[in-house]
Amino acid sequence: DIEMTQSPSSLSAYVGDRVTITCQASQDINNYLNWYHQKPGEAPKLLIYDASELEAGVPSRFSGSGSGRRFTFVISRLQPEDVGTYFCQQYDTVPSITFGQGTRLEIK
């Protein structure tokens, strides 16, 4: 299976800050990479698909980039409702779909 490694595993930032999360794949996955946000007690929510495409209804402060093995997720101006855990997910090798271990984001 393709291993997805997210960094950092947790971070704390101020409202208004720019936040960056990276996801590294153990092998080339083209752009077959999605990003999710999970608030405590809720199901994950799709934010970005195909590495850089913004899901309908998702605020434009969220963005994604990358291809191959290294991917970046950015929140341009952190808002209080952005707290929670962010996951990347690859689908290059269906049926071996795998997720990153998650990045927990808190507000300072």
Partner 1 sequence: QVHLQQWGAGLLRPSETLSLTCAAYTGSFSVHDWGWIRQLPGKGLEWIGENNFSGYSNYNGALNSRVTISIDASENQFSLKMTSVTAADAGTYYCVRKAYGHAFDVWGQGTEVVVSS
Ranges within 25-64 binding partner 1 (CB under 8 A): 32, 34, 36, 43-46, 49-50, 55
Least separation in angstroms between residue 87's CB and partner 1 is 6
Q: What are residue 42's phi and psi, to 5 degrees? A: -120, 165
The single residue listed with the structure tokens 């850089």 is: 52
| CB of 3 or CB of 81, closer to partner 1 | 3
Residue type for position 76: S
| CB of 75 or CB of 86, closer to partner 1 | 86
Q: By CB under 8 A, is residue 86 in contact with partner 1?
A: no
Helix (H, G, I), strand (E, B) or coil at 81: helix
Task: Note whether 67 and 17 are within 8 A (CB).
Answer: no
Q: By CB under 8 A, is residue 104 in contact with partner 1?
A: no
Q: By CB under 8 A, is residue 100 in contact with partner 1?
A: yes
The region, left, alpha or beta by phi > 0 then psi within -120 to 50, assigned to residue 93 is: beta
Q: What are residue 60's phi and psi, to 5 degrees? A: -75, -5
Binding region for partner 1 (CB under 8 A): 32, 34, 36, 43-46, 49-50, 55, 87, 89, 91, 94-102
